[in-house]
Amino acid sequence: MAASGNPPDPVAQLAAQLAACLDAALPDDVPLWVGFSGGRDSVVLLDLANALMPGRVQAIHVQHGLSPHADAWADFCATFCRAREIPLMLKSVTVARDGKEGLEAAARQARYQAFRESGATVLALAHHQRDQAETLLFNLCRGAGIAGAAAMPKARRVGELTLLRPLLNSSAAALAAYAKARALAWIEDESNAEERHTRNFLRHRILPGLAARFPALEATLARAAGHFGDAQKLLREQAMEDDAALAGRLSSLRLLSLERQANWLRYWLRQQGWRAPDAAVLDEVLRQLVRVVERRDSRFEFRFKEGRLRLWQGRLYATPRPAPPETAERLWDTQTPCVWSGRRLRLEPCCGAGLNAALLTGGKPLILRPRRGGEVLQVHPRGPHRSLKNLLREAGIPPWERPRLPLLYHEDKTLIACPGVAIAAAWQCPPDQRGWRVRWDQETEDRGRYAAPAKLHEQER
């Protein structure tokens, strides 16, 4: 039977794509937030989402303050949402203008930070095929690997927030047809015409020339990004398998091919929140790491922008740049938390564990001291005094952390505790009595996946 030749209905076409995306990613009782700039694409997405599920849509407009028209754009967004009874959150952000990655990247980071702080759990953005094609070209021009060539995923997690791009397979022409069919108005960002921005240069100069030779260019590049995305998923799955096999046994790293070693290390660094370096640096890290592991030598340290990569007892640690260790003793009233070596030291109420609360009455302060060597503790009532050095080693405290530990002393100069390591027997809380657990919050320190859990010498009952 011959096709009718009627052009597809843009409203029905985009509605079907959005519905399919939301069916897979949006729980029934969760509202959908939409990133709403007021531009044509976000106007189309917000109008479409509201028509598809009225009463379940909320919008967020991030005001960057980079344009003299920013207030007018915010007013437009408020009027648009008010007419449709869509709740709108307006968030003003400050964009760092002196960032190394440029104004566009700084604005994007500020915008995504606002999204994370909005309280949304699922948020949709209006990126489409042309955006995907631009992102792919942009990343390739910067020498990106497969992850960069995969461009933008349809869905990804950013902390507790799920970001969706339900129109990623839709053409810019389809969105324009939808806007015309629905008689929608929108705002134009004058910065979109400024070719000093790389993405605008690609949009106005490069893509039109390529499209003249390859008419289906945007769809083709978007499809290629999807293929790269599939390959990236496979590499991630392989890295996860290798990571599980290597956990605690880096001696078997050399059994992997060089390509799998690099793939695993990129994955491992990303799990620590670090960026993977370029191929040359990554190869050098792996060369040194494999050599040190084969020699069973613990003297490995490699400096990254985020911190240092270290090896200790056959385990890999990613250690961000820490605050400097304390060098002088001081008093601590124990009633309020204090900062020691960049981390918060505090007491947490508990029962039958930690410090004996009965011995901390009267408001007398404790003395905090840095480690100086030679300290001893009697951990068990009928046991000998043991050196803190040995206790730290048994607890799995890495050598670079030991000078930063806070040591708690009583007013008579007796060492009573080292947080997370040991409490003197005379100060341990008896069973079923009130105690104070000493917490030295780790924050972001020592995020190494292979860090051995510390053995607590406190009496945990």
| φ/ψ (deg, to 5) at 382 | -110, 15
Contact present, 67 and 193 (Cβ < 8 Å): no
Which 3 state secondary structure label does DSSP give 134? helix
- The single residue listed with the structure tokens 């799998």 is 260
Tens of pLDDT, residue by residue, the chain (461 residues): 445 556 678 788 899 989 999 988 898 889 999 999 999 999 999 999 999 999 999 999 999 888 888 899 999 999 999 999 999 999 998 887 765 667 778 888 889 999 999 999 999 999 999 999 999 999 999 888 899 999 999 999 888 899 999 999 999 999 999 999 999 999 988 877 778 788 889 988 999 999 999 989 999 999 999 999 999 999 999 999 999 998 767 888 889 999 999 999 999 999 988 988 888 999 999 999 988 888 877 778 899 888 999 988 888 889 888 788 889 999 998 888 999 998 999 999 999 999 999 888 776 789 999 998 899 999 998 889 999 999 999 998 888 889 999 999 988 788 999 998 999 999 999 998 999 999 998 643 443 433 322 222 333 22
Partnered with residue 309 across adjacent β-strands are 302, 318
Question: Among 314, 196, 224, 319, which residue's Cα sits nearest to residue 269?
Answer: 319
Question: What secondary structure letter does DSSP report for 336?
Answer: S
Contact present, 249 and 159 (Cβ < 8 Å): no
What is the distance between the alpha carbons of residues 227 and 225, in angstroms, rounded to a whole number?
A: 5
Distance separating the N- and C-terminal Cα atoms of the chain: 78
DSSP secondary structure, 137-190, as one string: HHHHHTT--HHHHT-S-SEEEETTEEEE-TTTTS-HHHHHHHHHHTT------G
- Residue 370 burial class via C-beta count within 10 angstroms: exposed 0-12, middle 13-18, buried 19 and up: middle
According to the model, what pLDDT value does residue 457 have? 31
Q: Rounding to the nearest 10 degrees, give the CA dihedral for residues 24, 29, 35, 40.
A: 70
Domain map (residue ranges) of the chain: 10-223, 247-320, 330-440
Contact present, 187 and 38 (Cβ < 8 Å): yes
What is the distance between the alpha carbons of residues 215 and 222, in angstroms, rounded to a whole number?
A: 13
According to the model, what pLDDT value does residue 428 have? 93
- Residue 134 burial class via C-beta count within 10 angstroms: exposed 0-12, middle 13-18, buried 19 and up: buried
Q: What is the pTM of this model?
A: 0.74
Which 3 state secondary structure label does DSSP give 310? strand
Fold of the domain built from segment(s) 10-223: Rossmann fold (3.40.50)
Strands 161-164 and 122-124: parallel
Instruction: Give the dihedral sign, CA 43/49/51/57.
Output: negative
Edge to edge, the sheet with strand 407-409 lists 330-332, 366-369, 407-409, 415-418, 422-423
What is the distance between the alpha carbons of residues 133 and 154, in angstroms, rounded to a whole number?
A: 14
